[in-house]
Amino acid sequence: MIKAKTFGLVYSVIFSFLLSCSSVSTEQRANVTILPPEELYGELFYDVQTKEIFPDSKTFVDAIPKKNVKEIRREYKALEDKSMASISAFVEDNFEIPGGETSYEADSSSINQHIKKLWQVLKRPADEQHSGTLIPLPNPYIVPGGRFREIYYWDSYFTMLGLQEDGETETIRNMVDNFAYLINNYGFIPNGNRTYYLGRSQPPFFAMMVQVLAEEEGDEVYVEYLEEMQKEYEFWMAGAEKLNSGKPSHRRVVQLAEGEILNRYWDDNPGPRPESYREDIKTAEDAVTASPNLTKEEVYIHLRAGAESGWDYSSRWLDADASGEFDLSTIHTTNIIPVDLNSLLYNLEGTIAKTHDLAGNSSEAEKFSAKQQKRKNLILKYCWNRETKFFMDYNFRRNKYTEILSLAGVYPLFFEIADGQQASQVAEKIENKFLKPGGVVTTLNPTGEQWDAPNGWAPLQWVTITGLRNYGKELLADEIKMRWLQVNQDVYDRTYKMLEKYNVEDLTKESGGGEYPTQDGFGWTNGVFQKLSAEE
């Protein structure tokens, strides 16, 4: 186990660096406690998590202290009885414990009306400063639902699609402003507005959010958020100038054999995730037992990088054993150049170029257009697999494609990077391999991880449908849309719930896999359903 004092010191150094790079004022810093739960609560955190006081590791790290944290720590240190019962009683006395369910009254409303009502259920007001792990945001926002009680980065783009359809432009602007606030205060958009997410981001959809808002308010919106888009780009590209043959990778940038630079997922903290503490410790122990050359810190970084990808977890990041089985202990996320991430950064470069052009900055526009074209060439070079006829992730440590077919391979269609022939070959693979009775499946591998078969996810349905439409594959796109809307409708008719994910292979079964039960709410499912169903 990493001791509280040591791990807290690592966090303190990282957070001090983040704050020193941000524009947050001295007065603001004095009023905000930027501490992860390990350092905030010390030994209490470790005892609660290791003794399994709560079934879900996320519960305690989201709890709100009822009084000064220093006083709580002092009282806990003096507590002689450290049994599970005593610790449970202590936590109940000193913290407000969050519930796990989104509260709403089920009724006979249509699914679209139900979602409109859910926007208010999932909406949170501007945050008041309080102790705990929540990073306060200045404007109201939508949370996904269930155990996810804070804003999440990439979820929010897909949620905005539904908000846009329902005329909730003010909420969209509030959320974009919140993300701009996070960029300006921390230098990037964290995974979510929790202190324990300050080591990582998520797939960079901020430019796409700006596009949604610009569709409602006009192109001047792009110029309004130019500075924040550039700051986010700098975050993802940080350290690129330091790369060389002796140091081919640094944080989120990787230098390939011929000196080209692409990106990977990463996290700056070499320890178990506080919100999945027990799970990460077990995975790391299994990994170093199987591969003694590994360190636990390396495993933790791979796990955290997998969380930054949003695909936590998937066979995309794993190795299969001799029998073709996958185990989370083989995770190696940071060795992989993901096709979805680099497609998103291609879009960010293009959006920045477009915005500079709108602002009359022709030289900057040309510079970012050149960056975008260069990245397109590299995606085609390193992520298009001529043998599988599909876009795939690339393992730069092994200098070869990964062996996992996944819907990440549709992102080059979503952002129109592929040529016509490539798009046709991808569409053929989608139709023959990925299309299932309830939509498209995430990967072809039934591993027990939630971002694998048999699960389908709303964001990937949207990316696939839109990508296919970009190349005139309307019939296939419409078939996926019809099947996805139907599985959403069928589950709603049975349960009056909108789920985080769905089993798209066997429609008689619920989705599953992963570190926690399937969640109800659910922000991005609502958003994609509203957007797609409005087309009918």
Q: Is 188 exposed, middle or buried (0-12, 13-18, 19+ CB in 10 A)?
A: buried
Assign 3-class secondary structure to 22-49: CCCCHHHHHHCCCCCHHHHHCHHHHHHH
Query: What pLDDT is stored for residue 440 in this prediction?
Result: 98
Query: What pLDDT is stored for residue 15 in this prediction?
Result: 47
Query: What pLDDT is stored for residue 13 in this prediction?
Result: 45
- Asked if 277 and 49 count as a contact pair (C-beta separation under 8 A), the reply is yes
**pLDDT per residue over 322-365, tens digit each?**
899 999 999 999 999 999 999 999 999 999 999 999 999 999 99
List residues with catalytic annotation: 312, 500
Residue at token pair 């974009």? 176
Residue at token pair 């569409």? 427
Mean pLDDT across the stretch 159-183?
98
Measure the CA–CA gap between 291 and 329, rounded to whole angstroms: 9
**pLDDT per residue over 260-308, tens digit each?**
999 999 999 999 999 999 999 999 999 999 999 999 999 999 999 999 9
Q: Identify the band that residue 78 occupies on the pLDDT scale cut at 50, 70 and 90.
A: very high
Query: What pLDDT is stored for residue 18 in this prediction?
Result: 45
**pLDDT per residue over 119-151, tens digit each?**
999 999 999 877 899 999 999 999 998 889 999
Walk me through the domains of the chain, giving residue ranges and CATH numbers: 4-96 (no CATH), 114-266+335-533 (1.50.10.10)
Q: Identify the band that residue 520 occupies on the pLDDT scale cut at 50, 70 and 90.
A: confident
Measure the CA–CA gap between 245 and 238, rounded to whole angstroms: 17
Counting other chains too, the contacts that 398-403 makes at CB distance below 8 Å and 24 or more residues apart are 398/335, 399/257, 402/316, 402/336, 403/320
Collect all residues with Cβ–Cβ distance below 8 Å to 307 and sequence separation of at least 6.
191, 200, 267, 273
Query: What pLDDT is stored for residue 32 in this prediction?
Result: 46
Residue at token pair 């979602």? 115
C-alpha closest to that of 253 among 268, 267, 238: 238
- Asked if 36 and 196 count as a contact pair (C-beta separation under 8 A), the reply is yes
Residue 102 has pLDDT above 70, yes or no: no
- Asked if 45 and 195 count as a contact pair (C-beta separation under 8 A), the reply is no
Cis omega (within 30 of 0) on the bond before 272?
Answer: no
Identity of the amino acid at 457: W
- Asked if 66 and 94 count as a contact pair (C-beta separation under 8 A), the reply is yes
Measure the CA–CA gap between 168 and 266, rounded to whole angstroms: 34
High-pLDDT (> 70) share of the chain, %: 91
User: How many residues comprise the chain?
Assistant: 536
- Asked if 161 and 462 count as a contact pair (C-beta separation under 8 A), the reply is yes
Measure the CA–CA gap between 314 and 302, rounded to whole angstroms: 12
Query: What pLDDT is stored for residue 108 in this prediction?
Result: 75
